[in-house]
A and B are shown apart, each in its own frame.
Chain A
Amino acid sequence: MKMGEVDIEATTEPLLKVEDLAVDFHVSGTVQRALQGVSLNLKRGRTLGLVGESGCGKSVTSLSIMRLLPQPPGHYAGGRILLEGRDLLSLPEREMRALRGGRIGMIFQEPMTSLNPVYTCGEQIVESLLVHSGLSSKAAMDRAVELLDLVGLPSPRERAHDYPHQLSGGQRQRVMIALALANDPDLLIADEPTTALDVTIQAQILDLMTDLRERTGAAVLLVTHDLGVVAQTCDDVVVMYAGGVVERAPTNALFADPQHPYTIGLMAAVPRIDATVDRLSTIAGSVPPPWVTLVGCRFASRCPLADDRCRSAVPPLRENGPDHAVACWHAPIEEATI
């Protein structure tokens, strides 16, 4: 686990830099803002966790980086997504297509439905290899078997000839990872890669991803709603709420000293193995629906500390410690005050 270590690569320029990303959805004549001012940095060899509850914009962010957001109804309303300084939002579609599956690999949430059912696992990896590299189909098949071996599928040569429906969920997710890694990507986006799997398989898949990141040196953007997964695998965390970033910190700093009332509420809602609790706490209320135009802080309607300033002005994301930024007027907050 790399948590807390300061390695050399941490000082280099980030591989992926998202600046002030704003995304709108045009739904039946109205414009709904799905993302507002999302910024994040991801360096080579690191894992960044993107956490938040359903509908907070995690998946929209990861799809935006791949530029896979359906347009319409999606619309990039502002900001930049820089991969080594190149703005992905202004790339022509052809160049973007070369990046997808090439330098950026993506793992999806549902291993049961994310593989094309009419082709064998091997054929699908070969397809990706042929699109991005000049391999012959024979060499591509050998490479596909090699990849299936790398992700820990037993007897990979036989499995390469299996159709997705012949594999279990965990095996399919391994195939998805092999597919995402096919062309040695610099950036791996994993959108809830373990949500659809049972717990023991989850642990195996997370270990595999950590292991592969260390071997390939790729940066990983891990989208999840599971704080346990974040603690286990991520170096840094970005907490999102209602389409915006509320807190950004190294993993250990976030877990040791959460600063945003939302993060504090999330932490309190997770059962802990070292404490006996009768009732788990919850965060009162629910996420504001996207068609509501927010005036002040996006969390104000559910925040126990909210005052007039919170309801009238948007708190900026301010550095509040080493690499620890919070978007809250009341930060720093002692946990006991909530």
Chain B
Amino acid sequence: MSIAEPADLDAPAPSLPWWRRLVHDPAAFVALIVLTIVVLCAILAPLISPHDPYASSRAVMQPPVWSDRGAWLHPLGTDGQGRDILSRIFYGTRLTLLIGLVSVGLGGVLGSLLGLLAAFRPRLDPWVMRLVDVMLSFPAILLGLALVAVFGPGAIPVMIALAIATVPDCARIARSIAVSVMKQEYIEAGRAVGLSDLALFTRYLLRNCISSILIFISLRFGQIILIGAALSFLGLGAKPPQAELGMMAAQGRDFLLFAPHIAVIPSVMIFVIVLAANVLGDALRDVLDPRLRS
């Protein structure tokens, strides 16, 4: 770092705002565009869907347009009940993103706060971490089953189950990052400047942990979508006529040998969403952490 210093003195300070630096990274730029398109499709699903996603037609298991028997009427073909896959992808993405975002958001915020608090107040640490251990001992699937037993199947019990499943992992990660940050001398220096606990917590601890937590959450987002799909597959999540990417993939499994597109297309969609989220999460960390700026 010190070797590069003479150059630093002449070079203009890297004062680009973070979002400008984000789009300068080609991988992040592509991921950002892909995610924007995906989110737009999800939001605009009722407007851009060529068909009713729930309406069956007689064209059952029609392949997508690029295969020999495909037709532009159903660009991505139809599923086992003759429903338009493109429309169902739009609606399914909508529900999948919603489940992922809400549960990762809720669980991530709650878990991070618990973990940071445990590191910030060592007195609370054993209590918080035992609570987290108890939560950790419930598998997400079991929790989902219990919640569905109480509330009946649907997206909301799944979201709650997934949020609760995210809390302990996130708390553990946040705590381990925060414990090492708390050992840094700048925390003590911040106290020596006379900062309040709240300022120390937000401006020193949280601000120094957030980039690593963000990475974890963006990776977790992918996992959550997959667990959500697993819950739908077990019949705990979205109720059948509803479209959900994981459930669509699960339903297509029955026709995998003679109509693979029914399972493959929603799976590719999940893959694209998860990959884009991970790439973007990585890039966000690089951009938000001033130490990693080159």
Contacts and interface: CB of A to CB of B under 8 A. Distances in A.
Nearest to A100: B194
By secondary structure, the B interface counts as helix
Given A117-B290, A118-B208, A100 B186 contact: no
A215 to B, nearest CB: 21
- Kindly list the 8 A-B residue pairs having the minimum CB-CB distance in the complex, ordered from nearest: A101-B194, A101-B193, A100-B194, A106-B192, A128-B193, A114-B185, A113-B185, A114-B189
A180 to B, nearest CB: 8
B190 interface: yes
Interface in B227-270: none
Given A165-B1, A165-B291, A166-B8, A127 B207 contact: no
Given A102-B194, A127-B195, A161-B15, 16 more contacts: A66-B192, A100-B191, A105-B192, A113-B184, A113-B185, A114-B185, A116-B186, A116-B189, A116-B203, A128-B193, A131-B195, A163-B290, A165-B1, A165-B291, A166-B5, A179-B193
B204 interface: yes
A231 interface: no
Given A117-B290, A118-B290, A127-B203, A68 B195 contact: no
B192 A161 contact: no
Interface string B45-74: 000000000000000000000000000000
B13 A162 contact: yes
9 contacts: A100-B191, A101-B195, A102-B194, A128-B194, A131-B195, A132-B194, A161-B13, A165-B1, A165-B291
Contacts of A113: 184-186
A101 B289 CA distance: 27
B196 interface: yes
Given A106-B189, A114-B186, A161-B15, A131 B289 contact: no
Contacts of B192: 66, 68, 100-101, 105-106, 108, 180
A110 B193 CA distance: 16
A51 to B, nearest CB: 21
Interface of A: 66, 68, 97-102, 105-106, 108-110, 113-119, 124, 127-128, 131-132, 158, 161-163, 165-166, 168-169, 176, 179-180
A68 B188 contact: yes
Interface of B: 1-2, 5, 8, 13, 15, 184-186, 188-196, 199, 203-204, 207-208, 289-291
A10 B190 CA distance: 33
Contacts of B193: 100-101, 124, 127-128, 131, 179
Contacts of B1: 165
B5 to A, nearest CB: 6
A132 B185 CA distance: 21
B189 A98 contact: no
B194 A168 contact: no
Contacts of A179: 189, 193
A80 B186 CA distance: 27
A168 B5 contact: yes
Best-buried of B186, B193, B195, B203 by chain A (most CB within 10 Å): B193
Contacts of A100: 191-194
Contacts of B196: 97, 131
Contacts of A68: 188, 191-192
Contacts of B189: 106, 108, 114-116, 176, 179
A79 to B, nearest CB: 21
Nearest to B189: A114
A116 B291 CA distance: 11
A165 B290 contact: yes
Contacts of A118: 207-208, 289-290
Nearest to B289: A118
A277 to B, nearest CB: 35
Contacts of B194: 97-102, 128, 131-132
Contacts of B2: 168-169
A118 B290 CA distance: 6
A166 B191 CA distance: 23
A119 B289 CA distance: 10
Contacts of A169: 2
Contacts of B191: 66, 68, 100
Contact of B203 (A119, A161, A168): A119
Contacts of B290: 117-118, 163, 165
Nearest to B292: A165
Best-buried of B1, B189, B203 by chain A (most CB within 10 Å): B189
A158 B8 CA distance: 11
